[in-house]
Structure 1
Amino acid sequence: MTDFFNGIPQVRYEGPQSQSDFAFRHYNPDEVVLGKRMEDHLRFAVAYWHSFAWPGGDPFGGQTFERPWFGDTMQHARRKADVAFEMFEILGAPFFCFHDADVRPEAASFAESTRNLEEIVEYFAAKMERQKTRLLWGTANLFSHRRYMSGAATNPDPEVFAYAAATVKTCMDATMKLGGANYVLWGGREGYETLLNTDLGREAEQMGRFLQMVVEYKHKIGFKGAILIEPKPQEPSKHQYDYDVATVYGFLRRFGLEAEVKVNIEQGHAILAGHSFEHEIALAASLGIFGSIDMNRNDYQSGWDTDQFPNNVPETAMAYYEVLRAGGFGSGGTNFDAKIRRQSLDPADLILAHVGAMDVCARALKAAAAMLEGDALEAARRARYAGWDAPAAKAMLKSGTLESIHARVLAEGLNPVPRSGRQERLENLWNRVL
């Protein structure tokens, strides 16, 4: 045990009337929602990078946090792991997520960095034998180090491509050893700053082959989890190739990977791409590539990816409604890719940020479940498209031609009368459950 969270009790469900800061008011892991325990619906995960590796900087200022595990030795890495697993225990968090660079110090050589990762994975494994927390997904940091300033898979230097590929192999091995449910790739530098020095066709081919190798290795080692891509339109690159769900799906189709790879969708990234979170989830589900979510929010006045904890129940409920309509997460879950504010210096702030976010998500899930169970929106949706269930409409879609449809319109004197979409009525229905 460490003394970092001294005096902070284990957080438990106490109900809406609780007066304690360190209590869940809405997140009851054992409450049954639509036939499933709430914990099994939400599958919460703590993000190692924001909670334990982030120093509290922003684009205009440096470190504000002073943590006893900040340092570049394995002793610091083990101390960080001790604090992390204490926090998982305090929260009752069922999962966590990490990049290799979050958990082990960078060494002078690839071989030494790999040894550091393998050592900390063994340290994690021993802790996971004694606790319930499991690994939702692992990933490789292929964007922070200066070697990746021009990308990893898309780098103009083949040696950087090779270093990145070798790094992914070690991280997939680590994820499998820890029983990870998924493996994620985020192309933070897979894009360009200027077209003046960029060969778009070449970089796409490199990125496609890289992902094919990841899938090939997954099958070779028998990894049963999903491979996930996390879309983002920009930041840090001016333009990133995994811009949004639609772009990722087109890329997967181009390289024959649409049945092999799914998406991990982040709320903040969806907003940066000009979409809503629920749009991206619904689109991914309709394309058969929905996998998991990174739950956070942006400050809508800032215009950049602020990675704040969620606090908007109506907005979050719309996202979970689409998750439920998609059939739930499968191997995915709700990863809090969120960080406390750089002014929030106390250990308690780290705990309370997660407590509040977990309660927001629980309220949102229950509202979404109530709406889905009540069937009001789905009934209205079915009624809106009911005409397409008629035999003539089905035949038109299956085997109609412009000529045959033209003849029918003339013969029947078709003159369609528009019908209301009833948006305001449906919005009122939705607001009744919130």
Structure 2
Amino acid sequence: MKKLKIFMIFLCFNAASFLVSADPQTCPADSGGKCSGPDDWEGEFFPEIPHIKYEGPKSSNPLTYKWYNAEEEILGKKMKKSNKNLDEVIELAKELQKETKIRPLWGTVQLFLHPRYMHEEQRPKPQEPTKHQYDWDAATAANFLRKYGLINEFKLNIECNHARLSGHTCHHELETARINGLLGNIDANTGDAQTGWDTDQFLTDVGEATMFMMSVLRNDGIAPGGFNLDAKLRRESTDVEDLFIAHISGMDTLARGLRNAVKLLEVN
């Protein structure tokens, strides 16, 4: 169980390191950075954004779910997402930091909101991997683990955009992990098929989402792992509302893919 918890730290490391090490937020996100202390706190980080609700596919409200209905049951389980694993990992990370006195070893700085870096001053990272490495794709990683007797110690986190960069579809990588008993977590993002850049875009292709949801269903789920959107806004998206619309689109795409996958598997 301890190994599993430590493994989950790596799956959630970006989020966990931010939540554990960052100073408490003292002003809302849309304040333009003008808040100076806790006296400016308004009670909500996004006070102008309403609670995101499910309104169904006919809704024209961009700040609502069209396909993701948290309370709806599909194959006997509610679609409701959970932060249970992340919460547990954060507590473990706090314990380890206290014991070892080691702060997070890695983090990412969000520079795209700054006018200096928004346009071309900071370029995207090039195609990765740029040369052979032992986690090039799911098959390579599986055989590395098998070779060194670690096949029963780890699961794989499949990132859809990296699958494309290694010359595969996301569905191919998920199936490779699944048939080897290694499917553990999914970075459900996408990239541009015609470039060699790790663009980390939100998934909006329902067809692609349908295919990899079929892998998840055939795997009988991916617990205790889960889905991580692992995506960011484009540089020119500066409105706070854009952040929510992007995440809603990603969630809805996954939910619609799940609905489609259930229908396809029922037919077959």
TM over 0.5: yes
Q: How far off its partner does 1:32 sit?
A: 0.9
Of 292, 296, 315 in structure 1, the residue corresponding to residue 189 of structure 2 is: 296
Q: SS of 2:155's equivalent?
A: strand
| Offset from partner CA, 1:56-95 (integer Å, 9 cap, x none) | xxxxxxxxxxxxxxxxxxxxxxxxxxxxxxxxxxxxx777
In the superposition, relative to structure 1, how do residues 353 and 343 fare at CA in structure 2: closer, same or farther (>3 Å)?
same
**1:307 counterpart letter in structure 2:** D
Deviation, structure 1 residue 363: 0.5
Work out whether 1:141 is the aligned partner of 2:182. Answer: no
How well do the aligned residues superpose, as a CA RMSD in angstroms? 3.0
Matching residue's letter, 1:310: L
Q: Is structure 2 residue 75 aligned with structure 1 residue 34?
A: yes
Counterparts of 1:96 and 1:348, CA distance in 2: 25
| Contact 1:15–1:24 (CA under 8 A) maintained in structure 2 | yes
TM-aligned CA distance change 1:236 to 1:279, over 3 Å:
closer
1:185-215 CA-to-partner distances (Å, cap 9, x unmatched) read: xxxxxxxxxxxxxxxxxxxxxxxxxxxxxxx
Name the residue aligned to 2:140.
Answer: 247
The partner residue of 2:221 within 328, 335, 342 is 328
Q: 1:22 aligns with which of 59, 63, 83?
A: 63
Q: Aligned equivalents of 1:115 and 1:260: distance in 2?
A: 25
How far apart, CA to CA, are the structure 2 residues paired with 1:328 and 1:293? 11
Q: Does 2:31 correspond to 1:6?
A: no
Give the structure-1-normalised TM-score: 0.43
The Cα of 1:285 is off from its aligned counterpart by: 1.0
- Using the alignment, how far apart are the partners of 1:332 and 1:26 within structure 2? 22
Q: Is the 8 A contact 1:307 1:338 kept in 2?
A: yes
**CA distance in structure 1 between the aligned counterparts of 2:225 and 2:101, rounded to whole angstroms:** 27
Match of 1:343 in 2: 236
Query: What SS does the corresponding residue of 1:240 show, helix, strand or coil?
Result: coil
Q: Name the aligned partner's letter for residue 218 of structure 2.
A: R
Q: What one-letter code is carried by the residue in structure 2 that aligns with 1:36?
A: K
- Which structure would you say has the larger RCO, counting Cα contacts within 8 Å and 6 or more residues apart? 2
Larger helix fraction of residues: 1
CA shift in 2, pair 1:365/1:94, >3 Å: farther
Which ranges of structure 1 fall in alignment gaps of 5 or more residues?
45-92, 105-109, 118-139, 145-233, 376-434
What residue identity is the alignment partner of 2:106? N
| Secondary structure in structure 2 of the residue aligned to 1:330 | coil
Q: Deviations over 1:37-74 (max 9, x none)?
A: 112xxx47xxxxxxxxxxxxxxxxxxxxxxxxxxxxxx
1:244–1:115 distance in 2 versus 1, CA, 3 Å: closer
Identity of aligned residues (%): 43
Deviation at 1:96, TM superposition (A): 5.5
Which amino acid letter does the alignment assign opposite residue 171 of structure 2?
E
Instruction: Tell which structure's C-alpha radius of gyration is larger.
Output: 1
Quick check: 2:129–2:165 contact (8 Å CA) kept in 1? no
Aligned length: 204
Matches of 2:77 and 2:136 in 1, distance apart?
Answer: 34
| 1:282–1:326 CA contact under 8 A, matched in 2 | no
- One-letter amino acid of the counterpart of residue 258, structure 1: I
Q: Which ranges in structure 2 are unaligned for 5 or more consecutive residues?
A: 1-25, 30-45, 110-126
Match of 2:210 among 317, 326, 348: 317
- Identify the match of residue 360 of structure 1 among 249, 253, 264: 253
Residues 15 and 26, structure 1, Cα contact 8 Å, conserved in 2 = yes
Distance 2:215 2:129 in 1: 29
